[in-house]
Amino acid sequence: MSNEVSAKLLDWYDRHARRLPWRAPPGRPPMDPYRVWLSEIMLQQTTVAAVAPYYEAFLTRWPTVADLAAAPQEAVLTAWAGLGYYARARNLHRCAQVVAAEHGGRFPDREAELRELPGIGAYTAAAVAAIAFGRRAVVVDGNVERVVARLFRVETPLPKAKGELKALAEGITPERRPGDFAQAMMDLGATVCLPRQPKCLLCPLQDLCRGHGDSVAQELPRRLPKAAKPTRHAVAFWLAGPEGALLLRRRPEKGLLGGMMEVPSTPWRESPWTPEEATAAAPLEAPWRALPGQVRHTFTHFHFAVEVWAATAVEAPDTAPAEGRWVALDRLDGEALPTVMRKIIDHGLKATAVPAPAGTADD
Ligand code: SF4
């Protein structure tokens, strides 16, 4: 069945491949490995639509891996802001530096060497080896797992089924055109073999697919029930300083949102903060007031609920408190602010906006 799967899938791909900015047309020489790698890192946990503008912006600013390697980390984090999973941006930058310094600016072409580079795991190494270098590599992401689980009717639940699914994917990966095959599997998973409602009638693998033949496709892959996500709580401190500038600080290099900018806050923990506890954690003594409402955000492993307290630094100090710095409100776009911090800032801006005096509004 393996040859039949790849032949049918490649034939389908030749006619239906998605046109993506980082992709060479079917059967054509591959794109520059830098582009393939950049797109694969950006696409982890993120949609094609969200990635496209970031991909173009990165390439315009840093057309080669050497350009990216020479950029300050701050600039890379700022350009990445909004894409999420910020460890990826730091690793992206480190990886570019290693490729520039230790590999003469050329990505290695084998999976094992690619895996030695920062931020490149099994999936990305296989994807770059197959797509950029035409090496036979087994590329398995969530989309591919779903297609394979259905095609072979794998009843073992994920994550236990991962090894089994990879072995089955290996069995259908061809020697010829492995890069196109990997991208064809991704496209099939993204456009036809959809998680909720697979479009089996449009599928080139329909007559080979056991899940479809046995009418269980939609139920696959099976999954062990997930543990409920906990909620973490924090109080963020909206401190207005000189000429309304906002106090921001940099998060520690290691850990969640490492190296990104933030509105100073209490630590994040699983019980809500009492006013006394939050006051003790504020960046300075001031008449803090709680703004109405709450900011909510969901990370991979927890929900986050944030109260925002506001105050004005009466005698605005020249140097900002709490190891932070003052940022003018019209300069916020130039900061490496992750999405959750943008939500907190939007909340603060709305809640602290001074209402226009009666009769002055534009009609
Ligand atoms: Fe997925 Fe249906 Fe195609 Fe099977 S036939 S691979 S379930 S879309």
Q: Which of 143, 185, 186, 193 to mutate to test the pocket of ligand 1 (most atoms within 8 A of CB)?
A: 193
Could you tell me if 168 and 150 are in contact, meaning their C-beta atoms sit under 8 angstroms apart? no
Whether residue 303 is predicted with pLDDT greater than 80 in this model: the reply is: yes
Q: Provide the pLDDT for residue 33.
A: 97
Taking only the tens place, the pLDDT of each residue in 113-150 is 999 999 999 999 999 999 999 999 999 999 999 999 99
Rounded distance from Cα 211 to ligand 1 centre (Å): 7
Mean pLDDT to the nearest integer, 161-186: 96
Banded pLDDT at 309 (limits 50, 70, 90): very high
Sign for the pseudo-dihedral over CA of 239, 288, 262, 349 = negative
Taking only the tens place, the pLDDT of each residue in 48-57 is 999 999 999 9
Taking only the tens place, the pLDDT of each residue in 63-107 is 999 999 999 999 999 999 988 888 899 999 999 999 999 999 999
pTM: 0.75
Q: Which of 185, 188, 191, 205 to mutate to test the pocket of ligand 1 (most atoms within 8 A of CB)?
A: 205
Among the ranges given (41-50, 66-75, 162-171, 197-206), the one the predictor scored with the smallest mean pLDDT: 41-50
Q: Provide the pLDDT for residue 2.
A: 66
The C-alpha atoms of residue 102 and residue 279 are separated, in whole angstroms, by 49
The C-alpha atoms of residue 36 and residue 24 are separated, in whole angstroms, by 10
The C-alpha atoms of residue 123 and residue 251 are separated, in whole angstroms, by 29
Q: What is the DSSP letter of 305?
A: E
The C-alpha atoms of residue 254 and residue 64 are separated, in whole angstroms, by 27
Q: State the DSSP string of 318-353.
A: SSPSTTEEEE-GGGGGGS---HHHHHHHHHHHHHHP
Mean pLDDT to the nearest integer, 35-53: 93
- In the chain, the largest separation of any two C-alpha atoms, in whole Å, equals 76
Give the active site residue among 40, 145, 307, 335.
40
Q: Provide the pLDDT for residue 285.
A: 87
